[in-house]
């Protein structure tokens, strides 16, 4: 039987990014890909990302956090999920600043200046083609040769690519809602140029401090919000000198403030979270999974 059978969970969202948090610190046992898929089923607690908290591995950290997409794959970073985790642990500890460890590295979090908001330091973006990673060399990742549609009239083309804990491809468009992202997203996520798959964003720059965007999230699908994609898009826009380094990001689920800090190149993301419900996982979820 799964370690998550009858285990407590918290369902939250970060501007519409559906998050489930499970605290495994008291009894650390593995969460499997099958477990993650079972939880995401309609009979479970459907989510975009599952955040599993484990005892800290590094000195000075509060927890090691494993991040699962709803297809059972693991992600390196989830900014909206980290805000949800931070809000829970802030409440438990009374602290105003915390450090967590993820596959993408150490993540610092602190309470925002506005009530109910939290800031996550997502670290430094990576731009090298091998760091993203890409399947072939591109010296300038501000725009790579990739397109969807006819060669002489592509529907989407020349994305900026960035690793922001996860691989991201950002296509610059006039209207992110004018494209069938549910159709193009899976094709681009699994394109051979992205050996680790990619998050796919359609972004429109409205001004030097405002971007509108939609994202097809690697391993999760069409989502109302993706924090790491917002960070990657803000950084990519600044690299192209389309925006300043502090930008308001409008996503289908709400808004985030992204700052690409100049003195150390770290990307800060600030936004709110919402509590939805608490519960326990029905053991039958995992019985059906095991006998399927």
Supply the residues annotated as catalytic.
Answer: 78, 226
Cis peptide before 133 (omega within 30 of 0): yes
The CA radius of gyration of the chain, in Å to the nearest whole number, is: 19
Distance CA 230, CA 163 (A): 12
Distance CA 132, CA 214 (A): 20
Location of structure tokens 């909206």 = 80
E runs forming strands in the chain:
8-14, 17-23, 49-54, 63-69, 74-75, 97-102, 105-111, 117-121, 147-148, 156-157, 160-163, 167-172, 199-207, 210-217, 221-223, 246-251, 254-260, 267-272, 274-280
Distance CA 100, CA 118 (A): 14
């Amino acid at each position: 039987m799964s370690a998550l059978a009858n285990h407590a969970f918290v369902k939250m969202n970060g501007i519409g990014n559906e998050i489930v948090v499970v605290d495994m610190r008291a009894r650390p046992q593995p969460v499997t890909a099958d477990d993650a898929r079972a939880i995401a089923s309609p009979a479970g607690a459907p989510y975009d990302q599952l955040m599993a908290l484990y005892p800290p591995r590094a000195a000075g950290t509060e927890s090691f956090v494993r991040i699962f997409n709803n297809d059972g794959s693991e992600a390196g970073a989830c900014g909206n999920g980290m805000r949800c985790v931070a809000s829970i642990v802030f409440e438990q500890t009374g602290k105003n600043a915390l450090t967590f460890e993820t596959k993408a590295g150490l993540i610092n979090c602190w309470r925002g200046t506005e009530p109910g908001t939290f800031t996550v330091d997502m670290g430094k973006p990576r731009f090298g083609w091998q760091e993203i990673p890409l399947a072939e060399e591109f010296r300038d990742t501000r725009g790579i040769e990739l397109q969807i549609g006819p060669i002489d009239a592509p529907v989407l083309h020349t994305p900026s690519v960035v690793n922001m804990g996860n691989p991201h491809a950002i296509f610059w468009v006039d209207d992110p809602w004018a494209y069938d992202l549910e159709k193009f997203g899976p094709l681009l996520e699994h394109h051979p140029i992205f050996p680790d798959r990619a998050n796919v964003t359609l972004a429109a720059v409205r001004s030097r401090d405002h971007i509108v965007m939609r994202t097809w999230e690697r391993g999760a699908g069409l989502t109302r919000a993706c924090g790491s994609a917002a960070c990657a898009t803000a950084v990519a826009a600044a690299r192209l000198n389309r925006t300043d380094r502090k930008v308001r990001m409008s996503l289908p689920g709400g808004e985030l403030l992204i700052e690409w800090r100049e003195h150390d190149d770290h990307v800060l993301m600030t936004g709110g979270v919402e509590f939805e419900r608490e519960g326990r996982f029905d053991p039958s979820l995992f019985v059906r999974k095991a006998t399927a």
